[in-house]
Amino acid sequence: MNQIHVLYLVSLLMDMSVAGATFAITRRAAELGATSAQLGWLNAVWIGVYGAMALVTGHASDRVGRRKLATFGCLVASGMTLICSFTTRMSLLLVFSAGIGAGIACFWPSIIAWLGEGLTGERLAKRFTTFGIVWNTGLLLGFGCTGFIFKYWPQLAFYVSASVILIIASLLLLPLAPARSRMPGDMDTRDAAGTVTATIPPGRGFRKTAWLALFATNFALNGTSAMFPQLSIHLGIGADVHGALLATGRGAALAAFVVLQFFMFWRARLWPLWIAQLCCAGSIVWIGFAHATWMFAAAWVIGGAMSGYAYQASVYFTLEEMTEKGKGSGFHEAMVGSGMFFGPVLAGWVGNHDSLRAPYFFCAAALVFWIVLEMILVALRRELSR
């Protein structure tokens, strides 16, 4: 089997499984009466462990090997997911979900670096366009299917996720044919002079600004998602509709990955990244006021599309500028993990000390704060470089 095709497949299956496991854990906790703070920590601990470990595992994959580390991570994540199915105690769910985070921290930086090996410019962008479509499809299927499964067979949702992760480990152990230097979809788009038509301006802080944007969107959107099980139960929204709403957001992110490949302006300018974050903040404010399913769906479409753009910008700028792919992917994923950690924790704290809707306005305000900070840092960097 061609290794790139296998890497795409395992990427889809892993995010489908992680979406399923985390949905099942948090929905079960909400139905058991978990507070806003408890939901915040349940959503935060596993991804916090993931973000912290990604800084180490990404670098380690450059040395010990992508396949070995990713396979080991699958075994850990599968075992922890299975154990979570047997407990309803909040303290134990926190511990074992942290184990899931540790397992996937061995998986994702390795896979991202593996996919980016030997590529630059347009071929790198197109490779990660396909990758973005694949893993967002996994999240879409994971949330959508698990919401339905959980409504009728709550325990089965855990078993399915754990089993699929074991299938991933098996796929990674298969003998894989090396990828060709150019795969269909990896071809350069060049102008008449034979050069790539859009490049990252050097010394302008693109990579670091994209990291901050990635952190900010994950902070805000995951703080929002962490609190939504409580709001959905309060409004009488079933687990199947809840899962479908989250899947809608991932579908929008998938669409963003597809659309971005047809435009190059975002690879040489930062202002679209700021506009995208502002739109994301607006969608979260909308959730704070919403009361009907279609209103929530509209908000998740906007937020999902904007998060897809922030992710694509970060992974492209990182792997284009850094020669150590594992180290670069580790930093990129650490931004994902740290945003997804602090957002739910602080949103949960706000929800515990204020109202049911307060966390959404807090997350939107925090995102606006990060936009302003990014703009200030870019302005200072350009002033100093003169």
Q: What is the tens place of the pLDDT at every residue in 346-375?
A: 999 999 888 889 999 999 999 999 999 999
How high is the pLDDT of residue 199? 62
| Best mean pLDDT range from 192-196, 234-238, 315-319 | 234-238
How high is the pLDDT of residue 245? 93
pLDDT (average), residues 119-126: 77
What DSSP string describes 97-157? HHHHHHHHHHHHHHHHHHHHTT--HHHHHHHHHHHHHHHHHHHHHHHHHHHHHHHH-HHHH
pLDDT (average), residues 261-290: 90
Query: Which pLDDT band, with edges at 50, 70 and 90, does 273 fall under?
Result: very high
| Rounded Cα–Cα distance for residues 286 and 37 (Å) | 22
How high is the pLDDT of residue 277? 96
Average pLDDT over the chain, rounded to an integer: 87
Q: Which two tokens stand for residue 291?
A: 């009361």
What's the pTM value of the predicted model, to 2 decimals?
A: 0.77
Closest CA to 127 of 184, 51, 48: 184
* Contact call for residues 40 and 226 (beta carbons, < 8 A): yes
How high is the pLDDT of residue 382? 76
Give the domain ranges of the chain.
Answer: 3-177+200-385
Would you say residue 193 has pLDDT above 90? no
| Best mean pLDDT range from 46-50, 138-142, 268-272, 301-305 | 301-305
How high is the pLDDT of residue 346? 95
Query: Which pLDDT band, with edges at 50, 70 and 90, does 180 fall under?
Result: low
How high is the pLDDT of residue 174? 87
How high is the pLDDT of residue 221? 95
How high is the pLDDT of residue 280? 96
Q: What is the pLDDT of residues 319-339, one digit of tens each?
A: 777 777 778 888 888 898 899
| Rounded Cα–Cα distance for residues 46 and 24 (Å) | 14
Would you say residue 376 has pLDDT above 80? yes
**Farthest-apart Cα atoms in the chain, separation:** 64
What DSSP string describes 46-79? HHHHHHHHHHHHHHHHHHH-HHHHHHHHHHHHHH
How high is the pLDDT of residue 202? 58
pLDDT (average), residues 12-37: 91
How high is the pLDDT of residue 126? 84
How high is the pLDDT of residue 201? 59
Q: What is the pLDDT of residues 195-237, one digit of tens each?
A: 444 566 555 678 888 899 999 999 999 999 999 999 999 999 9
- 3-177+200-385, CATH topology level: Growth Hormone; Chain: A; (1.20.1250)
Decide which of 303 and 127 is more confident: 303
Query: Which pLDDT band, with edges at 50, 70 and 90, does 179 fall under?
Result: low
pLDDT (average), residues 145-169: 93
How high is the pLDDT of residue 178? 63
